[in-house]
Structure 1
Amino acid sequence: MLFDCDGVLADSEGLVNRLVAEELTARGWPISAEQCRETFLGMALPAMLPVIEARVGRLPARWPEMLSVRIAAAMCREAEPVPGALEAVRAVAGAGLPVAVASNSARAELDAKLDRLGLAAFFAGRVFSFEDVARPKPAPDIYLAAALACGAAPGDCVVVEDSLLGVRAGVRAGCRVLGLTRESDASVLAAAGAEPFAAMAALPELLGLAAVAG
């Protein structure tokens, strides 16, 4: 079972978009958090940079690192789980299924989120950032790596995603993809090859598992 993080496990997209909006506005691109979501949803920092630099000019070489550090610090204080996500992970792990996280977040941000949510132990040794693969989503690399870490063929894996780029990555890897529509358009995810579902609380039932309370 392969999970995206932002918007699937961590209800963190609003926080990330706010911080990115603050950074870009300060650098001369007035942009709101909602506009950041529309522009960058699911994108890794390397893919964001050309878009940003087209508007603000050349960024300092260490800007991506500095932004990641700022986001990670905020996640340590403020990240909250997507409703039903903690219970869903416990149900999947409790059923004996191997689990992994595959995220277009930077490593520092990703580790901060999982620690804050108390999920790090579930995914120990199977946490993948865009920094761990040659190409970020929508390339399949990160989900192929996550499947390998779980000792499973991609075709035997289920991916949980909430972004178009993430769905495309899971489909290209050959996985079954479930598309969380909590804040995404079901028709867009379905058109990309996902099976839409509305809430993480429904995931155990979709997989034929009993939810684990607590």
Structure 2
Amino acid sequence: MSISLQAPAPALVIFDCDGVLVDSEPLSLACLTAGLNRIGVAIDVETVRARFAGTSMTSIMGHVERDYGVTAPEGFVAAVKAETLAIFDAELQAMAGIADAVAALSLPTCVASSSDPVRLRHSLGLTGLLPLFEGRIYSAVEVARGKPFPDLFLHAAARMGFSPDACLVIEDSVPGVTAARAAGMRVLGFAGGGHWGHDRDGADLLAAGAARVYRDHRDLSALLAALPAETLAATSAQA
């Protein structure tokens, strides 16, 4: 009996926000690093990027307490969030080409992000992207565990009415790719953000399980069209 190895074409595209829709990571990582330095955590921005990009503040503060022995004072997280939003007001930009790329998609879309709802709406509103996703924005605060666990992506898929194998995730972080793969979803890695100077080819994202990595959102439609055939070829080679 013959068995088809071709994966179905994606039916839902789930976008991460920070580092995918908006070029926020260089700004937010700098704010977080400065804040951690103020409370006695000896850490630089590159270490903050490598360890914490793509994860929630709850997860970050847990790591800081366990790994650095520093408990943040009351109000620390709120202060860092406020400082970050203030910098966003002055400097935040949408990723080049993302508005046109999303508008051109014929598939349903949504956002699933580690950011809290206030920051999410603020970022998308500032950059003019909010109307593209209004009513379809999901935050890690809505689930028990954030990335790299699959909870957020499974939650977004369920709310949108799609099975995990029908979803394609666009992610810029290793925890995000790991979470999507754990949810049984395919992933395209995006390495076009300002924080990806260390690995422009996205080797870390590929190693975590991304099917492809790209750097220009103008390529998204073509990548989506090619994904089922690429998945078939990869599966056939392993059979």
TM-score interval (norm. to shorter): 0.7 to 0.9
Of 46-55 and 18-27, more deviation after overlay is shown by: 46-55
Is the counterpart of residue 102 in structure 1 residue 115 in structure 2? no
CA contact (8 A) 1:158 1:177 kept: yes
Is the counterpart of residue 78 in structure 1 residue 91 in structure 2? yes
Question: Aligned equivalents of 1:177 and 1:78: distance in 2?
Answer: 29
Instruction: Give the letter for the 2:224 counterpart.
Output: L
Q: Which residue of 1 aligns with 2:49?
A: 37
Question: Of the candidates 84, 88, 91, which is equivalent to residue 101 of structure 2?
Answer: 88
Q: Which residue of 1 aligns with 2:72?
A: 59
Q: Which residue of 1 aligns with 2:202?
A: 186
Distance 1:46 1:197, change over 3 A: same
Q: Which residue of 1 aligns with 2:144?
A: 134
Question: Of the candidates 68, 80, 86, which is equivalent to residue 81 of structure 2?
Answer: 68
**Percent identity for Structure 1 against Structure 2:** 36
Helix, strand or coil for the counterpart of 2:148? Answer: coil
Instruction: Give the letter for the 1:14 counterpart.
Output: P
Give the TM-score, by structure 1 length: 0.88
Q: Which residue of 1 aligns with 2:29?
A: 17
Question: Of the candidates 140, 157, 167, which is equivalent to residue 177 of structure 2?
Answer: 167
Question: Aligned equivalents of 1:27 and 1:137: distance in 2?
Answer: 25
CA contact (8 A) 2:205 2:213 kept: no
Instruction: Give the letter for the 1:65 counterpart.
Output: A
Instruction: Give the letter for the 1:189 counterpart.
Output: L
Helix, strand or coil for the counterpart of 2:169? Answer: strand
Question: Of the candidates 214, 218, 228, which is equivalent to residue 198 of structure 1?
Answer: 214
Helix, strand or coil for the counterpart of 2:170? Answer: strand
Stretches of structure 2 that go unaligned for 5 or more consecutive residues are: 1-12, 227-239
CA contact (8 A) 1:159 1:170 kept: yes
CA contact (8 A) 1:10 1:80 kept: yes
> Where do 4+ consecutive residues of structure 1 move more than 6 Å?
none
Alignment of 1:103-122 (within 5 A): 103-122=113-132
Q: Which residue of 2 aligns with 1:212?
A: none
Question: Of the candidates 159, 181, 187, which is equivalent to residue 149 of structure 1?
Answer: 159
Pairwise CA RMSD of aligned residues? Answer: 1.9
Give the TM-score, by structure 2 length: 0.79
1:76: how far off?
A: 3.0
Stretches of structure 1 that go unaligned for 5 or more consecutive residues are: 210-214
1:2: how far off?
A: 0.1
CA contact (8 A) 1:9 1:85 kept: yes
CA contact (8 A) 1:101 1:128 kept: yes
- Answer with 1 or 2: which has the greater Rg: 2
CA contact (8 A) 2:206 2:213 kept: no
Aligned length: 206
